[in-house]
Amino acid sequence: MKPITSSAANANTVRHPFCAFTADNPITPLLCINEGVPVEIALEAASCSLSVAQDLLLKAGEQNGLDQPTAFAIAMIVDQAKASVDAAWQGIEEAQL
């Protein structure tokens, strides 16, 4: 992993298809992080999504665990956050080339 340079300060996301548990189709993905989003916005969205997932997990820990819909929701939230981070990181790497 290379250190982030100042040229990456204005980096944008790259297109990054994703979707948890839906037999991803690489030609026509169900969901996608759009190209051209400023990385700071993508990373902030990922942080907010992970905060929601964390809250759901904490509530489940206080109760009787996770039901299936909540577990699926958390998996989707985490997958979306990971895709946002991956798209941002790829954008940063491309900006440094």
The residues near 82 (Cβ < 8 Å, ≥ 6 apart) are 18, 46
Task: Please tell me which residue, 27 or 17, carries the higher pLDDT value.
Answer: 17
Q: What is the pLDDT of residue 55?
A: 96
CA 56, CA 39: separation in Å to the nearest integer?
Answer: 26
Beta strands in 1-97 (DSSP E): 16-18, 31-33
Q: Find the mean pLDDT for residues 47-63.
A: 94
Is pLDDT of 18 > 90? no
Of 52, 56, 87, the C-alpha closest to 69 is 56
Torsion of CA 32, 78, 84, 46, to 10 degrees: 130
**Model confidence band, residue 4 (pLDDT cutoffs 50, 70, 90):** low
Is pLDDT of 39 > 90? yes
pTM of the model: 0.83
CA 61, CA 47: separation in Å to the nearest integer?
Answer: 21
Mean pLDDT of the chain: 86
